[in-house]
């Protein structure tokens, strides 16, 4: 899709977003875009407003001003459920699986908006991406390792055939080898044409696979650009890359 200027229409656009918790002004004039099929990472330290940005996109916390535009439609006043119907999906912080349910049941929950009979094709796609989940489909999700649970959480989100996958700190709590694996999986999902907005504190790994990035600091976007340029950025290296 293109707009009047012939510029590609972004899949997601945040325009002048201001989000508050009570009197606390958290997000301050945030502008951010994700194009169709693009992999964008949102970096920032603790309490910088990363999760609040995802909650604003999903409509969990409505902004006091500004707009959220998704697929050319202003969704700022939409409920979360309606945004999910439109094609957003989230892999939340700490995965939030249904521990006492099996892998298969967790995956099925990801497509609860559609009749069960339609699910086999989606399950096949998820199992092709994560063969381990097919092997473990009868295992209770709560007994999987952290990295395996990450796969279930991503698989569950993909069951809804999203246009945009939002991920909150996928590397959190994973051992280094699983962090790498987790980002390989993110790349695979990106390769399948899904747009992703990935929140991370691990700037090095996420910028190495992203197309573009934004850096949040106390609720403001302080830096944005191509991932390859951000990786070279002196201030960013000092502040977030630890050298």
Q: List the x/- string, 174-213, binding to ligand ATP by CB under 6 A.
A: ---------------------------x------------
Q: At 33, is the secondary structure helix, strand, or coil?
A: strand
Q: List the x/- string, 35-64, binding to ligand ATP by CB under 6 A.
A: ---------x-xxxxxxx------------
Interacting span for ligand ATP (CB under 6 A) from 20-28, 102-110, 117-125, 227-235? 20-28
Residue 56 interacting with Mg ion (CB under 5 A): no
Q: Which residues contact 143 (CB under 8 A, 6 or more apart)?
A: none
Residue 53 interacting with Mg ion (CB under 5 A): no
Do residues 207 and 16 touch, judged by C-beta distance below 8 A? no
What's the min distance (Å) between Cβ of 72 and Mg ion? Answer: 29
The DSSP result for 146-193, as a single string, is HHHHHHHHHHHHHTT--SEEEEE-TTTT--HHHHHHHHHHHHHHHHTT
What's the min distance (Å) between Cβ of 145 and Mg ion? Answer: 22
Q: Which parts of 87-158 fold into alpha helices (H)?
A: 103-109, 119-129, 131-135, 146-158
What's the min distance (Å) between Cβ of 51 and Mg ion? Answer: 3
CA–CA dist 157, 34 (Å, integer)? 18
What's the min distance (Å) between Cβ of 17 and ligand ATP? Answer: 12
Q: At 213, is the secondary structure helix, strand, or coil?
A: strand
Give the residue, chosen from 19, 43, 44, 51, that forms a contact with Mg ion under the rule CB under 5 A. 51
Residue 97 Rama label (left phi>0; alpha psi -120 to 50; beta) = beta
Give the nearer residue to ligand ATP in terms of CB position, either 51 or 106.
Answer: 51
Q: At 71, is the secondary structure helix, strand, or coil?
A: coil
What residue ranges bind Mg ion (CB under 5 A)?
50-51
What residue ranges bind ligand ATP (CB under 6 A)?
21, 24, 26, 44, 46-52, 201
């Amino acid at each position: 899709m293109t707009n009047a200027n012939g510029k590609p229409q972004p899949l997601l656009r945040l325009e002048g977003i201001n989000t508050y918790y009570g009197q606390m002004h958290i997000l301050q004039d945030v502008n951010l875009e994700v194009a169709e099929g693009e992999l964008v990472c949102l970096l920032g330290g603790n309490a910088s407003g990363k999760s609040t940005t995802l909650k604003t996109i999903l409509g969990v916390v409505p902004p006091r001003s500004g707009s959220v535009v998704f697929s050319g439609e202003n969704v700022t006043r939409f409920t979360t459920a309606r945004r999910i119907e439109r094609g957003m999906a989230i892999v939340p912080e700490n995965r939030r699986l249904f521990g006492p349910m099996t892998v298969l049941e967790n995956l099925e929950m990801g497509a609860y908006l559609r009749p069960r009979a339609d699910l086999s094709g989606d399950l096949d796609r998820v199992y092709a991406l994560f063969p381990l989940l097919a092997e473990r489909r009868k295992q209770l999700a709560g007994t999987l390792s952290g990295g395996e649970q990450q796969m279930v959480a991503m698989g569950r989100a993909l069951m809804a055939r999203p246009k945009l996958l939002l991920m909150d700190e996928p590397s959190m709590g994973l051992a280094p080898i699983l962090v790498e694996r987790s980002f390989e999986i993110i790349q695979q999902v990106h390769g399948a044409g899904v747009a992703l907005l990935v929140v991370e504190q691990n700037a090095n790994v996420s910028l190495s696979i992203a197309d573009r990035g934004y850096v949040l600091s106390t609720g403001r976007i302080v830096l944005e650009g191509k991932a390859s340029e951000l990786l070279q950025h002196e201030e960013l290296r000092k502040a977030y890359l630890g050298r």
